[in-house]
Structure 1
Amino acid sequence: MRIAVAGGTGTVGRHLVAAAQARGHEVTVLSRSSGVDVLAGTNLDPALADVPVVIDVLNLTSLSKRKSVAFFERATQNLLRAEARAGTAHHVALSIVGIDRIDASYYAGKLAQERLVSASEVPHTIARAGQFHEFAEQVVGQATFGGVSMVPRLLGRPVAASEVAEHLVSIAEGAPLGRASDLVGPRNETLADMVRRMYAHDGIRRRVLEARLPGRYGRGLASGDLRGSGSATVAKVGFDEWLSSGHRRR
């Protein structure tokens, strides 16, 4: 099967492309390097010709609600319009568990994306997953000052990006579901504890300070909502296993 991946060079996208190819699928990566600009809508029509499935794992790093909403709305609208013209049979969108009450900051963009996908005439599946194990590395890369890392208070059930990728390929191989079962990690984790264990594993001596971020976004991170609720598919790879396994890409 031919699958187009938007965001195929990112944290999940790299694993997704590899997982789809390993299962025998022909993968087209929608990227500027290949001449396709999803945000600008450039060359989407030829890229999606005769492609039955599109998986969207595009992402940006921003805590600005305005920037997040603008990014996800523009990218999603461009993809869905091109897919409607191409007759795409299945649009798969990756989102995040537990964000319904956190319509703020970055998560406002993901909720805007979900609304557009749900309202689209393109057959679709929204697949929510927990925060990634990789988030621990991403956070400290942006919030470390000398010998101190400042980490937001966050309670969730994180998953490995590689398992999210496998989950998305399985969904893409099936019929559109509208909303797939959430994918969550095997145990509850706080981000600060994850960072401390990561530093211990890597032999890094650095102090980790945890602080609750202000506003609705900060309350949402600390609330435990990001653990998800109800029935969910439970991933297999825990954080400590991820640290010392091939699932981690450094």
Structure 2
Amino acid sequence: MRIVVAGGTGLAGRRVVATARERGHDVVALSRSSGTDAASGAGLRDALTNADVVVDTLNVATLDARESEEFFRATTANLLAAEGDVGVAHHVALSIVNCDRAPYGYYTGKVAQESLVTQGEVPWTILRVTQFHDFAAQMFTQARVGPLRFAPRMRTQPVAIGEVAARLVDLAEAAPAGRATDLAGPREESLAAMVRAYARATGRGGWIPAVPLPGRFGRAQRDGTMLPGPDADRGTGTFGQWLATLSGSRA
């Protein structure tokens, strides 16, 4: 099977590419460095020719609602158009658990992405997952004011990227399924505690206060809106296990 991974050099995309290749698939990793740009559409048609399925793991580093929506509308529309032109039979999109219940900030773009996929003509599957374990590292890097780092208050049930990648490839190998069963980690965690533990594990401890983010998005993070429902599948990899792999590192 020829699988094209949009965002194939990103955090999730790299794992999808590796997993699909381990299973013997012919895999193409799309990225601007490879001459394709999903945001502008450049090179997409040629890159998708003869593809059986496209797995969209594209991401944008922003918390701004307008920037996120513009990115996901452009990339999704361009991918779907190119897929339609060359006859791709299956579009698999990676999304976020309950993004439609908190359609603010970055999640605004994910809601727009899902809308385009579900209304498009290419048969589709959407997999919603919870935050990755690596979310702690991202927040440690991004959540700061000057020299002060802080940790947003959030209830989360983080999942291992490797398990997400395996599920995405499972879905790519199967027929279009619409909304797939959500995938979450095995247990709930506090994001603030995760960020502090990450800092200690990488030798960068110190005072990291937990800060409630303002507005509706902040409330959704704190009140459990982003947690998976009872019918979601649970992975097995824990945050503690992921953290153990970082001990002694200086990532």
With the shorter chain as reference, the TM-score category is over 0.9
Which residue of structure 1 lines up, in the alignment, with residue 98 of structure 2? 98
Which one-letter code corresponds to 2:138 in the other structure?
Q
Provide, for residues 62-111 of structure 1, a one-character-per-residue CA deviation record: whole Å limited to 9, x for no partner. Answer: 11111010000000000001111111111000000022221111001000
Task: Kindly indicate whether the alpha-carbon contact (under 8 Å) linking 2:9 and 2:30 is maintained by their aligned counterparts in 1.
Answer: no
Q: Does 1:21 align with 2:21?
A: yes
> 2: CA distance between counterparts of 1:95 and 1:125?
10
Which one-letter code corresponds to 1:91 in the other structure?
H
> 2: CA distance between counterparts of 1:62 and 1:207?
25
> 2: CA distance between counterparts of 1:115 and 1:91?
13
Cα deviation, residue 196, structure 1:
1.9
Which residue of structure 1 lines up, in the alignment, with residue 85 of structure 2? 85
Which residue of structure 2 lines up, in the alignment, with residue 63 of structure 1? 63
> 2: CA distance between counterparts of 1:57 and 1:185?
19
Which one-letter code corresponds to 2:177 in the other structure?
L
> 2: CA distance between counterparts of 1:164 and 1:131?
10
> 2: CA distance between counterparts of 1:188 and 1:213?
19
* DSSP-derived class of the 2:245 partner: coil
* DSSP-derived class of the 1:225 partner: coil
Which one-letter code corresponds to 1:27 in the other structure?
V
> 2: CA distance between counterparts of 1:242 and 1:53?
30
Provide, for residues 31-83 of structure 1, a one-character-per-residue CA deviation record: whole Å limited to 9, x for no partner. Answer: 11111111110111111111010000000011111101000000000000111
Cα deviation, residue 148, structure 1:
4.2
Query: Structure 1 residue runs of 4+, over 3 Å off?
Result: 144-148
Task: Kindly indicate whether the alpha-carbon contact (under 8 Å) linking 1:185 and 1:238 is maintained by their aligned counterparts in 2.
Answer: yes
Which residue of structure 2 lines up, in the alignment, with residue 235 of structure 1? 235
TM-score (norm 1): 0.95
Task: Kindly indicate whether the alpha-carbon contact (under 8 Å) linking 2:99 and 2:226 is maintained by their aligned counterparts in 1.
Answer: yes
Which one-letter code corresponds to 2:231 in the other structure?
S
Cα deviation, residue 227, structure 1:
1.1
Cα deviation, residue 149, structure 1:
2.2
Which residue of structure 2 lines up, in the alignment, with residue 187 of structure 1? 187
TM-score (norm 2): 0.95
Cα deviation, residue 146, structure 1:
7.5
- Which consecutive unaligned segments of at least 5 residues does structure 1 have? none
> 1: CA distance between counterparts of 2:67 and 2:41?
18
> 1: CA distance between counterparts of 2:121 and 2:209?
46
